[in-house]
Chain A
Amino acid sequence: MILGIINIILIGTTPLIFAAIGELVVEKSGVLNLGLEGMMLVGAVSAFVTLVVTGSYLIALIVSLISGLLMSGFFAFLVLYLMANQVASGLALTIFGIGISSMIGKNYVGTPIEGLDPYLFIILSFIVVVLTGYFFKKTKSGLIVKAVGESHDSAHSLGFNVLKIRFLSILFGGAMSALAGFYISICYAPMWQEGMIAGRGWIALALVVFATWKPERILLGAYIFGGVAIMQMNLQAFGVKFPGQFFNMMPYLVTIMVLVIISGDKLRIKLSSPACLTKPFKKNQ
């Protein structure tokens, strides 16, 4: 039974890891993208529709990733080159994604497909986390991304192309969100339903803060959040009378608590949160 529970947690938590690790890279570069939910939905629907039409998992994956690149690329263009407000642009991305995904998927609700085995992706999620950790700790490019997120003016004076580095980080985030969407509609569910991401984008966003912007802690946080959700379902199955809503609040409440703990201390917030988060970069100033 224990193994069964671990199995369910692994399967259910993987999309959170993909989305969160993508957003972590974006935020490390100094950009806050609140469009996770929208990009995940579009990634999920484009994968699903492509799979039904072509029958190929590979093409479905590619199309899904491209959808993520397009969505995040558009966001990047707005916030980087047109210097639009990041919070509003991210919300617009989510609202747009909710709408467009259900339009695209309108004729595919309830279409049966053969799901893909999730284990490959579970392993992939671990690899991505380890590689991202390695990227930020040991590689020059990783340090450059961090530098851009900490102080874009210094990074610019050192000759780094701030906008290009942020653009690439945002694209990576988009691709990872789309991958999370692909996993949900092709491996996890497997089906398409309007709004099927069901708030996972916001949980992933919370996860990045919970992990205090450290890749390896994303894993820890994701399994705690995922574990709590599974525990709730199991407790209810055993007839324990505790309202599930309070379990579902945990990720949000815990994240707020983590924010309070790290933000109160000036040094700690400097060590965890990218200093330039949500600040637009303007050249010639």
Chain B
Amino acid sequence: MEKLISIIPRGSSSQSMFILAPIFAIFLTLLFGSLIFILMDYDPIVALKTFFISPISNFYGISELLVKATPLALIAVGLSFCFKNNIYNIGAEGQLTMGAIFGGGVGIYFYDSSSFLVLPMMILAGAIGGALWGMIPALLKTKFNTNEILTSLMLSYVALLILDYLVVGPWRDPDGFNFPKTRPFGETGRMPVLFEGLRIHFGLIITLILLAVSWFVYSKTMFGYQLKVSGFSPRAARFAGFNKNFLIFSAFAICGAFAGIAGIGEVSGPIGLLYRDISPNYGFTAIIVCFLGRLHPLGIMFASLVIALTYLGAEDAQLFLQIPASVGFVFQGLVLFFLLGTDLLVNFKLKLKT
């Protein structure tokens, strides 16, 4: 390929390609996805329709889409604080889990309280739990120079095991017939639903507020500016005298807190108690959302809807076409592959050699 096409650097990154690449990626994913469906003997039109259109053709479906997009967008925008600063925190799954443990612990302790303060306390505890868990890799990175990719990833599995220990051990529901789950939170420990009969809950509002806050921080504050500069050019940041360790800590803490709130949103929203599988990989999938949304709050909002659809579509595909639900992961993997591939076009031009 190298023989035929030469890759020429652009003088400056292409703004249009920056926005077009994610759209290309989604288009290529659909194309490649239909190819896989054909190879597996499914009618691609029927499969794609079941996957991408019928799940959101009614109010219930759209509510379900938002239920899934809510944690994804929130974690992804948290991750953007790290990624903008070139910190590869890939442990959001662990931070989400720790948030759910901290907040869920409050919910279990106050399960019979009628105070309206229970939910706010749970959310606060969730944010603290996630932030603390996120600050471990930050501490190790700033104090001992450890690679945050590896530590944040390893800590995710540690957090999942702690949750597992709690729900089969000390926090197991005394009236739960030995099932590995905690007692349900009380009424006061649940996120209020936004519309009667639908599952979409108050977490959506929190996510939208935090998206707006993040946009404000990035575009209007010195802190956001420092994050961007130190990610773009560490040398410039050093000359400007930005406090590198402070930026690392705050990026991790913000990301952890957002992921923690997403975690408590899940357990106090649709789930209502703690058990092993509180998150279908939201913490890892949010990395895709973050990249697809170009680390930008508005982009992340759209990307979270696209990726949430892969979850929803996969459920329908399993129900109606007996395609395993993990086909959703195939689409998620593909969209990230194609995005990373087409990203080349942002900074480089392709030219045919003659």
Contact = CB atoms under 8 A, between A and B. Distances in A.
Contacts of B27: none
Interface residues of B, number: 49
B90 A91 contact: yes
A89 B337 contact: yes
Nearest to A84: B340
Given A89-B337, A260-B140, A264-B144, A103 B327 contact: yes
A256 interface: yes
A199 interface: yes
Contact of A256 (B154, B162, B327, B336): B154
Contacts of B88: 87
Contact of B285 (A82, A95, A252, A260): A95
A221 to B, nearest CB: 14
Interface stretch (B51-59, B145-153, B224-232): B145-153
B331 interface: yes
A260 to B, nearest CB: 5
Contact of B329 (A85, A99, A256): A99
A98 B326 contact: yes
Contact size range, A? 35 or more
B157 A252 contact: yes
B334 A96 contact: yes
B155 A92 contact: no
Contacts of A255: 150, 154
Interface in B20-55: 36, 40
A84 B36 CA distance: 24
Nearest to B1: A81
B162 A87 contact: no
B196 interface: no
B337 A99 contact: no
A88 interface: yes
Contact of A82 (B146, B329, B336, B344): B344
Interface of A is mostly: helix
Dominant secondary structure of chain B at its interface with chain A: helix
B150 A209 contact: yes
Contact of A92 (B90, B162, B336): B336
Contact of A103 (B2, B157, B324): B324
A97 B161 CA distance: 23
Contact of A245 (B149, B153, B162, B331): B162
A83 B168 CA distance: 45
B341 interface: yes
Interface of B: 1-2, 36, 40, 88, 90, 140, 143-147, 149-151, 153-155, 157-158, 161-162, 164-165, 168-169, 281, 284-285, 287-288, 291, 323-324, 326-334, 336-337, 340-341, 343-344
Which 9 pairs, one residue from A and one from B, show the smallest C-beta to C-beta distance? Answer: A96-B333, A99-B329, A99-B330, A84-B340, A92-B336, A245-B165, A252-B154, A95-B333, A102-B326
Interface of A: 32, 34, 38, 74, 78, 81-85, 87-89, 91-100, 102-103, 106, 194, 199, 202, 205-206, 209, 243, 245-246, 248-249, 252-253, 255-256, 259-260, 263-264, 266, 269, 273, 277-278
